[in-house]
Amino acid sequence: MAILESRKIVFGLGMGFLVLALLGGCTNSHKGGSQPDKATAPKTSIEPQFEKEGELYFLSADGQDTLQKIDIELAERRDEIEYGMMYRKSMDEQTGMLFIMGFEQPQSFYMKNTYVSLDIIYINTQEEIVSIQKNAKPLDETSLPSGKPASLVLEVKGGFTTKHNIQEGQKIAWSRLPKS
């Protein structure tokens, strides 16, 4: 009888560990790796900092005159695109984040977990500004669509496009800094 009881206990413990292992595997399977990416990273008290990865020039409609230059941070991977400007509490006027969407189609952004007002500039494959959403309201989850197909999206500080007379039909040019 004691042997049967000990086998039941061992079997029960083994099944318990198996269930725990399976549950642990299910709860961690969505991470895809040992380190969370910045799109799924938990909120912390540390504000993400701007990282200069390139330069962008606003050009006249004919592309001949430079109207303004800014430093840009790039968002290329899905996690970078999803995270964007979230959790940043400040933004220098001479900086922006350029989202490289990978394909041209109507785009739409919103301001979830974004604490600074932004101008959202939609740009097509010819590097022409096709639409601008001005002074997007912080923390608002209302969809802000491009209205026209765009392959690039640029976020700059709210009011930037008005202050520098940036308009639909104007062109941009940008370059990536060499990786060090």
Q: CA angle 130-173-70, nearest 5°?
A: 100
**Exposed (0-12), middle (13-18) or buried (19+): which is 161, by Cβ within 10 Å?**
buried
Is residue 49 over pLDDT 70? yes
Of the candidates 174, 128, 165, 162, which has an alpha carbon nearest to the alpha carbon of residue 148?
128
Residue pLDDT, tens place only, 54-108: 999 999 989 899 999 999 999 999 999 999 999 999 999 999 999 999 999 999 9
Structure confidence at residue 103 (pLDDT): 95
- pLDDT category at 43 given cuts 50, 70, 90 is low
Structure confidence at residue 80 (pLDDT): 96
Q: How far is CA 26 from the centre of its chain?
A: 27
What is residue 115's three-state secondary structure? coil
Structure confidence at residue 38 (pLDDT): 44
Residue pLDDT, tens place only, 142-170: 999 999 999 999 999 999 999 999 999 99
Look at the block and give the residue holding tokens 């968002």: 75
Structure confidence at residue 41 (pLDDT): 46
Average pLDDT, the chain: 82
